[in-house]
Amino acid sequence: MTFENTKAFAQELDSQDVLHNYRDEFIFPKVDGKKVIYFTGNSLGLQPKRTKSYIDEIMKDWAELGVEGHFYAHKPWWDYQERFAKPLSKIVGCLPSEVTVMNTLTVNLHLLMVSFYRPTQKRYKIICEEKAFPSDQYMFQSQVHFHGYKPEDAIVEIKRRDGEHNIRTEDVIAKINEVGDALALVLIGGVNYYTGQVFDMKAITAAGQAVGAKVGWDLAHAAGNVKLELHDWNVDFAAWCSYKYMNSGPGNASGCFVHEKYHADKELPRFAGWWGHNKERRFKMEPVFDPIEGVDGWQVSNLPVLSLAPYLASVEMFDEIGMEALIEKRDKITSYLEFILSEIDKEVASNFEIITPSNPQERGCQLSVFLHGEGRDLFDYLMKNGVIVDWREPNVIRLAPVPLYCSFEDMYDFGQILKEGINK
């Protein structure tokens, strides 16, 4: 398609967009009484309007039923998380028995590493990407310290080549083969939070397992954003937060995947809790842990249903739409944003540099842009003029045109505001 940098063209794209009406399902912040252009769904998604009714339902059941809500609520609380299995399995590409919701992201990664990071004197190293999200870095450091190793010995970072912004798949695989028999775990962010690069999860998983390592993925920026086939890729484990592309609210619950090949292994080490115990016998208060067969066997505590309610509201919306439709619009609107940036760059004779891969197969719903020659003042101008973007030092803005609620007209309007901010 040949794009045009005009409002009329953007509005025509919106008129053809089968997801355009879902924009009305969300509540937008306002600046000077006008809805913002919201580009930070990669940090915190907007609130779906239907969320309130899901929370109100639990509050009503709690008021009317008290403790009996565990069994007699409209959606009984004791198995509330089971409602996520089928719709989430479609989002991340797995069997319903392989996915559950519990805790928060870093907590789940720590719990999963109990099972899947089992270092020995010979095999103890972890491979991750250079400049992983800080929470992952802290997690790796604390895990290797816990097992008696030094981070500088046990943690191997995949680095970018000089002058390049993204990590090459062949470099990841080469490093896996180089570490070889000493490699215990590969754990990488499926989408790099800073650049927006999507890693080749299938190829990297196969390479890691070929040398005898376990392979897991932090899918914080991938779940609800890119196509995932966790079961078919034979991924050992994964976890993700729900408040970015899946709009569940700040700091909300995490999704968790464990491949079915581990489900029947009751001897696999894990940190146990009663909500992971045999569901049919849970309330018999037995002294010996008998894990549920499936990923639910990794649960620890009974679930915070008031936190899960917003996530369920969003997951059911995803189920209505389907990932194929979301990805189709994602690719189109992200390409249109890329075009708009290029056109504005020409008009203002600036020097924008998009550090996110240009290949749609290597990116999701994010463009990270170096604004060479521009500083924090431009970010402040955008924010004051109703464009909510994310700033990363020294001069990078991250733009996430989320297909559920961003419009093509938003992309055009952003370009005009950006041009005004540079020319001011």
- Tokens read off for 169: 């798949």
Q: What is the pLDDT of residue 375?
A: 77
**Pair 239, 370 in one domain:** no
Please tell me whether residues 175 and 311 are part of one structural domain.
yes
**pLDDT average, residue stretch 101-128:** 97
* Span 92-108, average pLDDT: 97
Per-residue pLDDT band for 251 (boundaries 50, 70, 90) equals: very high
- Which of 277 and 424 is assigned the larger pLDDT? 277
Residues 254, 335 within the same domain: no
Q: How far apart are CA 85 and CA 95, in angstroms?
A: 8
Question: What does the block give as tokens for 132?
Answer: 């992983």
The confidence score (pLDDT) of residue 277 equals 95
Q: Which of 293, 321, 349 is the last residue of a domain?
A: 321
277 plus 313 within the same structural domain = yes
Distance CA 337, CA 399 (A): 9
**What is the total count of domains within the chain?**
2
CB atoms within 10 A of CB 323: 19
CATH of the domain at 214: 3.40.640.10
* pLDDT for position 391: 87
- E-strand ranges in 163-309 read 183-189, 214-218, 237-241, 254-258
> Is the model more confident about 140 or about 132?
140
Structure pTM? 0.96
Last residue within a domain, chosen from 295, 321, 347 = 321
Inside any domain, residue 163? yes
Q: Dump pLDDT digits (tens) for 371-385.
A: 887 778 899 999 999
Q: Is the confidence at residue 413, as pLDDT, over 80?
A: yes
Question: Of the given ranges (131-135, 207-211, 250-254), which has the lowest mean pLDDT?
Answer: 131-135
Are the CB atoms for 243 and 315 separated by under 8 Å?
no
Residue 359 forms part of a structural domain:
yes
Q: Are residues 360 and 311 in the same domain?
A: no
Q: Is the pLDDT of residue 352 over 90?
A: no
Boundary of a domain, candidates 286, 321, 356: 321
pLDDT higher than threshold 80 for residue 40: yes
Query: What pLDDT does residue 372 have?
Result: 81
- Kindly state whether residues 37 and 94 are assigned to the same domain: no
Amino acid 223: pLDDT: 98
Give residue for tokens 């733009």: 399
Query: Using one digit for the tens of pLDDT, what is the confidence trace for 163-207?
Result: 999 999 999 999 999 999 999 999 999 999 999 999 999 999 999
Query: What pLDDT score does 283 carry?
Result: 87
**Domain contains 81:** yes
| CA-to-CA dists, residue 206 to 184, 186, 236, 376, angstroms | 14, 11, 11, 42
Task: Decide: helix, strand or coil at residue 310.
Answer: helix
Flag whether 2 is in a domain.
no
Residues 104 and 57 in one domain: yes
- In this predicted structure, what is the pLDDT of residue 199? 98
* pLDDT tens readout for residues 59-77: 999 999 999 999 999 999 9
Same domain, 44 and 57: no
For residue 394, the model assigns a pLDDT of: 78
Q: Is residue 402 part of a domain?
A: yes
More confident residue, 404 or 350: 404
Domain that holds residue 386: 7-48+323-423
Instruction: Answer yes or no: do 235 and 86 share one domain.
Output: yes
The CATH number covering residue 373 comes to: 3.90.1150.10
- How far apart CA 109 and CA 103 sit, in angstroms, is 10
Residue 413 and residue 286 share a domain: no
Report the pLDDT averaged over residues 14-22: 97
Residue 1 falls inside a structural domain: no
For residue range 313-341, list pLDDT tens digits in order: 999 999 999 999 999 999 999 999 999 99
Confidence of residue 351 (pLDDT cuts 50, 70, 90): confident
The token pair that represents 354 in the structure block: 């998009």
Shared domain check, 199 and 77:
yes
Per the domain annotation, does 286 fall within a domain? yes
The residue-averaged pLDDT of 244-256 equals 97
Determine the Cα angle at 194 with ends 381 and 103, to 5°. 110
Model pLDDT for residues 283-297, shown as the tens digit of each residue = 899 999 999 999 999
Site of tokens 């990669």: 42
For 118-241, list the strands marked E by DSSP: 125-129, 155-158, 183-189, 214-218, 237-241
Query: What percentage of the chain reaches a pLDDT higher than 70?
Result: 100
Question: Are 243 and 340 members of one domain?
Answer: no
* Average pLDDT of the residues in 342-346: 93
What mean pLDDT is predicted for residues 258-278?
95
Neighbours of 393 (CB within 10 A): 6
Tell me if 105 is assigned to some domain: yes
